Copies of this chain bind each other. A is one copy, B any other.
Amino acid sequence: MYLEQINEPSDLRKFNDEQLNSLSQEIRNALIKKLSIHGGHFGPNLGMVEATIALHYVFNSPVDKLVFDVSHQSYCHKILTGRKDAFLFEEHYDDVSGYTNPKESKHDYFNIGHTSTSVSLACGLAKARDLAGGKENIIAIIGDGSLSGGEALEGLDFAGEQNSNFIVVINDNDMSIAENHGGIYKNLRLLRESDGKAECNLFRAMGLDYIFVKDGNDISSLVKAFRSVKDIDHPVAVHIVTEKGKGYAQAEKNKEEWHWCTPFDFNTGESKAVFAGEDYSSITADFLLKKMKEDKTLAVITSATPAVMGFSEDKRKEAGVQFIDVGIAEEHAVALASGIAANGGNPVYGVYSTFIQRTFDQLSQDLCINKNPVTIITYSASIYGMNDVTHLGIYDIPLMSNIPELVYLAPATKEEYLAMLDWSIKQKEYPVAIRVPGGEYISDGKAVTKDFSLLNKYEVTQQGNKAAFIGLGSFYNLGVNAAEKFEEITGIKPTIINPYFITGLDDDLLEELKADHEVVITLEDGILDGGFGQKIAGYYGSSNIKVLNYGFKKEFLDRYDVNEIMIENGLTDINIANEAIKLI
């Protein structure tokens, strides 16, 4: 095995072309094996094996600096930079994260997980180099799908004006997670079809020099191209055409499905985690598809993650022009939705909690100042969501709930979620967001008769006294359980409240509680700072009511165990009950 001989990138340079090709096959085999057992990003990594070998063959990392966009395609980079054991030996599979990570290696400059950031970050490395009088190569590696993100385009524009070494490798596999969307992809196609010779060239139009590599899975072409730009004295885009999922037939064929994989059978490609039941994704698509047929102005928007809304390829086809994939462009998605609503349409935008962070200003300025009736659905907004540090979903409450005019709702069950969605797409008064519950999928079959247009009216689900447990959204049931423990221990039946509304206080109810309650306990599935509970604490600050806020400490977590984090933050029913009891 050649792979055994690789401990650092310079070890590559002792191999000839043929040996490098054999190495690429060994790496590909290791990747497929690990991913079949462990799951992870499949297509992006298989497509980048040759290019990563060529980059490390030509450039001198870590003096020369590579910045991988999203960095979900950095597995081969990890293999070549001293971390191959994490891809060869099952017991070491979890030694590395799925993204670049400076704590793992001096070859990684940033923790990256969101798209479209590499060019700007690399521009910073280059600027610091120039100020310090350095000469190293700075290389950003970005996929075609990530190019549509505003930050990437801002970065390319900036890069295009610089007068020093800067290399952007455009890894063009003609795919985002799903198919690409946007006018620039017509230009990429034109460039591919003209072998890079078309005069109209996005990269040149943004001020960069340009070279084209037709076969981005051919190591010798790549080495030649990278050598030609090494130590260049101006910004250049190296446009390489790769095949996503290369080397695994099913992934080459079904690129969207194989972007990311759960553990699968190596031979058949069949997933070992087949899930056929309903979930918040599938019920969203089913509900919206039905509504779209009744209302031809209902437009469903995704920013390149249609699957989280349940819109698989067939359902997107069924929705037709009423389904809009804007590509990776969250800012545009929110502004577009606001514009649709301003002209009488009925837009619904579904987005991961971690990615709505990319569009704060559009939520505030384009949407909420204009108070247009848009529905936003936030997914994975929970400690039970994705658990890489770059993909946490526990920050959306402070982010969104402090924007004036936005109505942010927290359902606890499937029935509440659908009732809110139904209300939101009918009403024409407010921008509304709905926080899809995390954790267990709960359907209690109860009809929801609540009128959500009575803003900030909480529901008392159990009338009691002494203590009131306010459990928001996915933590409503934790509140119920804590209340039960409280009653078991004290014999006192406490009040339980389902607040539904994240963005406002039910002043009347909170005032009433003062009469026969001594402690109010809030629970939220997000960080405490800037969140829901602290608003309740602020409300009761001048009163005799004691308040206990439960949620998560403000910190960046990484690849955590949910139960451990729950315990660390005191989020067990018995602990909460006991702490409440201390205050009565």
Question: A residues engaging B (CB < 8 A)?
Answer: 65, 102, 109-114, 117, 120-132, 148-151, 153-161, 181-187, 199-202, 204-208, 235, 296-297, 299, 321-322, 324, 326-327, 329, 331-332, 335-345, 347, 357-362, 364-366, 368-370, 389-390, 395, 398-399, 401-405, 519, 527-531, 533-535, 537-538, 540-543, 546-549, 554-556, 579, 583
Contacts and interface: CB of A to CB of B under 8 A. Distances in A.
B187 A206 contact: yes
Contact of A154 (B148, B324, B342, B390): B148
Contact of A202 (B111, B155, B205, B398): B205
Contact of A158 (B109, B182, B531, B537): B182
Nearest to A553: B404
A339 B117 CA distance: 10
A124 B404 contact: no
Contact of A187 (B205, B321, B342, B549): B205
A507 to B, nearest CB: 13
A121 B338 contact: yes
Contacts of A369: 111, 389-390, 556
A122 B534 contact: no
Contacts of A538: 528, 533-534, 537-538, 547, 549
Nearest to A583: B542
A319 to B, nearest CB: 12
A321 B130 contact: yes
A339 B122 contact: yes
A554 B124 contact: no
A110 B342 contact: yes
15 contacts: A110-B342, A110-B370, A117-B366, A124-B336, A125-B340, A125-B342, A149-B154, A150-B331, A160-B183, A183-B207, A205-B205, A360-B361, A395-B403, A402-B554, A537-B537
A337 B128 CA distance: 9
A478 to B, nearest CB: 18
Given A120-B332, A121-B342, A124-B347, A296 B131 contact: yes
Contacts of A204: 187, 200
Copies held by the complex: 2
Nearest to A339: B124
Given A117-B366, A200-B200, A547 B555 contact: no
**Most B CB atoms within 10 A — which of A131, A339, A405, A548?**
A339
Nearest to A134: B343
A423 to B, nearest CB: 21
A359 B358 CA distance: 7
A339 B125 contact: yes
A160 B131 contact: no
Contact of A534 (B114, B155, B395, B535): B535
Contacts of A114: 361, 365
A399 B336 CA distance: 23
Given A331-B151, A361-B114, A546-B542, A339 B183 contact: no
A124 B370 CA distance: 13
Nearest to A148: B157
A200 B205 contact: yes
Nearest to A329: B154
A184 B155 contact: no
B200 A342 contact: no
Given A205-B201, A208-B183, A322-B131, A556 B299 contact: no
A550 to B, nearest CB: 11
Contacts of A120: 331-332, 335-336, 339, 362, 366
A577 to B, nearest CB: 14
B583 A124 contact: no
**Most B CB atoms within 10 A — which of A65, A124, A332?**
A124
Contacts of A206: 182-184, 187, 202
A65 B344 CA distance: 13
Contacts of A199: 199-200
Given A120-B335, A131-B321, 18 more contacts: A65-B343, A111-B369, A113-B365, A117-B335, A121-B335, A121-B366, A123-B339, A158-B326, A184-B206, A395-B402, A395-B403, A398-B530, A404-B554, A405-B556, A534-B538, A540-B541, A541-B547, A541-B549
A500 to B, nearest CB: 18
Given A128-B297, A395-B402, A404-B556, A187 B158 contact: no
Given A128-B344, A158-B182, A541-B548, A366 B207 contact: no
Contacts of A404: 554-556
B125 A343 contact: yes
A365 B100 CA distance: 13
B331 A124 contact: no
Contact of A343 (B128, B326, B345): B128
Contacts of A113: 365
B339 A128 contact: yes
A156 B329 CA distance: 11
Contacts of A370: 102, 110-111
B357 A360 contact: yes
A124 B362 CA distance: 13
3 pairs of A and B residues whose beta carbons are closest in the complex: A124-B339, A160-B183, A183-B207
Contacts of A205: 184, 187, 200-202, 205
Contacts of A527: 402
**Most B CB atoms within 10 A — which of A127, A344, A364, A538?**
A538
